[in-house]
Structure 1
Amino acid sequence: MSSTPPWNVRRLPAAEGRVFLVTGGNAGIGYFVAEQLSATGATVVLGSRSPARAEAAADAIRARVAGARVRAVRLDLADLSTLATSVESLEVDRLDAVVHNAGVALDHPPRRETADGHELMFGTNHLGHFALTRWLMPLLAAAPAARVVTMGSFAAKSERLDPDDLQSREDYRPKRTYGRSKLAQMYFGVELDRRLRAAGSTVASVVAHPGGALDSLTPSRPPIHVRTAGARLGSAPAALLVQGKDAGAWPAVRAVLDPAVRGGQLWGPRVFGLRGEPRLEPVWDHLADPALAARLWGASCELTGGDVLTRTPGSR
């Protein structure tokens, strides 16, 4: 399916002088995206709403990656009014890539809302990244060929958006609402690239998903994650179908670094979309709906107070 050259997940191309932002880089898949990108010599910024956790993650990366250039900024995607300040705190004149990885997943009711009154998962996972991209766009445009990499979810493959109930006011089921929030993110990633191409931008937007990534199959990174011997033994059968979060990071890392990756593409694990090295996938049929994507874009502009590609001074 892919005409890209051979890719070695354990021998990544050098990226000295480049700057990458990973949202939610303090834990889970985001941590491993940051760790792997740090090994390329790039400067990696961890965006997290918990400065203490982000600093712990940065220390863990430094302990494993000699000479790692990693630092943290406070980033709360559930509070849109704080995003401009977070972007200013990056203190860079350009950004070569952002990985939209941070997310909230609730397992049980009740329905919760962000500081802006949006359903928590949709508001954080989708709207927060939508608004963040608006503030980041000048920095991305200043780089020679920047990328916006949106981390979707295999859980979104079986979901469909309800454009009349994006906030899950009528139908709130936590797992479904989570899946739909990730689907909204993926629609955003595809539609963003369509609009960037129409605008003649040098920025590309790529979508990735981690497949099936379990804590129990993830190698220890104390104090970020500690896998017990019992968890390792108990998860052995699952390794036939899914993988750890370290491997779940591979598609996003390739989407950032591989010069053969193109905007509008979808990258995921090679084996049934659940495990294995990253490969180019066909864009899922329900993601290739420009009318629904445009409707979601319009609603997102209204809910966040502006368009990603037309940020004006003084806008929220």
Structure 2
Amino acid sequence: MSSVPSTPPWDVHRLPRADDRVFLVTGGNAGIGYFIAEQLSATGAVVVLGSRSPMKAEAARAAIRERVPGARVRTLRLDLADLPSLRTAVDALGSARLDAVVHNAGVALDDPPRRETRDGHELMFGTNHLGHFALTGWLMPLLSAAPAARVVTVGSFAAKTERLDLGDPQSRRDYRPKRTYGRSKLAQMHFALELDRRLSAAGSTVASVVAHPGGALDALTPSRPPVHARTLAARLRGAPAGVLLQGKHAGAWPAVRAVLDPAVRGGQMWGPRVFGLRGRPRPEPVWSHLADTTTAAELWSISYDLTGIDPCGIPG
């Protein structure tokens, strides 16, 4: 009696090889983005760190190369708050194809006053959502040139209790920083799912996936000087939170799996296994308000009007 060998369980510490594939991580110079880039670089892939600060990107590149001998890491100046610059940034990639982009970069403000991008958009909505919306359009020819590319959008629990106000998407009438941040992340996640629906309808080989890190704290994150330094005091303060939360190195796991695992499908959402807060990555049900396709389609139309770009409409 013969048996079909089962697929081995996903091991976050033994990732599959991805030699010569090309991955772009926005905000790859710090936080969860840094650890996504570090982990992907161990697979043999070419990893591009997108950052608005060349100095910080270079520091992150050096830190990865110290941890991962032979890592093939490049840097790319990328400012999501400057929409006209994005086409130039994509041209500077100098690649004939892109196997995945991880939309990770983000701005989070805690206090007023309301700030705007150089294009006149509210800073968090403009950077976190509109910047990635437009960037996807310019990247689509490169993504379409890869055999089975993925757009992986890093969401946030901050979006779980928020709802979009499409009558005031840029918080001009009622600006509350934490709420505006949560809504900007919700807009990103709506976009990711709507993108997959449109790509699928068009017969594209590109898939769009949502991943979220759960509860990821600096105090539980291992040091990666000079990118991140964890003091003994911070480690002791963060220890109790480790029962329910995790460090940013573990927060990277769902996005890394969404990039690499051939079993991942477009339109899925991936997060940590334990209450969606910590642990190894697994698929989880899409939040009920994210399944609202009418809101997602309206947001797409608004985003197109604000950026002048249709992410599915730029031919290769």
TM-score, normalised via structure 2 length: 0.97
Code of the aligned partner of 1:15: A
Amino acid at match of 1:195: R
Per-residue deviation, 1:311: 2.4
Matches of 2:309 and 2:56, distance apart in 1? 31
Match of 1:200 among 197, 200, 203: 203
Find the aligned partners of 1:120 and 1:43 in 2 and give their Cα distance: 30
Partners in 2 of 1:17 and 1:74 — Cα distance?
A: 22
**Aligned partner (choices 262, 265, 269) of residue 259 of structure 1:** 262
* Greater Cα offset, 130-139 or 169-178: 169-178
Aligned to 2:158: 155
1:172-226 Cα offsets, whole Å, 9 max, x none, are: 1000000000000000000000000000000000000000101011000000000
Tell me which residue corresponds to 1:128: 131
Compared CA separation, residues 161 and 294, structure 1 to 2 (3 A): same
2:87 equivalent in structure 1: 84
The aligned residue for residue 236 of structure 2 is: 233
* 2:74 match: 71
Q: 1:174 to 1:62 in 2, by over 3 A?
A: same
**Structure 1 Cα separation of the partners of residues 43 and 90 of structure 2:** 23
Is 1:249–2:252 an aligned residue pair? yes
Residue 51 of structure 2 corresponds to which residue in structure 1? 48
Counterpart in 2 of 1:295? 298
CA distance in 2, matches of 1:82, 1:210: 29
Q: State the 1:4 CA deviation.
A: 7.7
Cα distance in 2 for residues equivalent to 1:7 and 1:74: 33
- Segments of structure 2 that go 5 or more residues without pairing to the other structure are 1-5
Count of residues in correspondence between the two structures: 311
* Alpha-carbon offset, residue 241 of structure 1: 1.0
Q: 1:212 is matched with which residue: 207, 215, 236?
A: 215
Aligned partner of 2:107 among 104, 117, 130: 104
Amino acid in the other structure paired with 1:77: L
* TM-fit CA distance, 1:17: 1.1
Identity level (%):
78
Find the counterpart in structure 1 of residue 149 from structure 2: 146
1:4 touches 1:260 (CA, 8 Å); kept in 2? no
Could you tell me how far 1:5 is from its partner in structure 2?
Answer: 5.2
Cα pair 1:94 1:139 within 8 Å, conserved: yes
CA distance in 2, matches of 1:166, 1:8: 40
Q: Any runs of at least 4 consecutive aligned residues in structure 1 with deviations exceeding 2 A, and if so which?
A: none
Q: Structure 1 residue aligned with 2:98, among 95, 100, 107?
A: 95
RMSD: 1.2
Alignment-derived partner of residue 224 in structure 1: 227
1:35-75 CA-to-partner distances (Å, cap 9, x unmatched) read 00000000000000000100000000000001000010100
Normalised to the residue count of structure 1, the TM-score between the two structures is: 0.97
Amino acid in the other structure paired with 1:194: R
Listed one character per residue, the Cα deviations across residues 143-199 of structure 1 (whole Å, up to 9, x for unaligned) are 000000000001111111111111011121000000000000000000000000000
Name the SS of the counterpart of 1:267 in structure 2.
strand
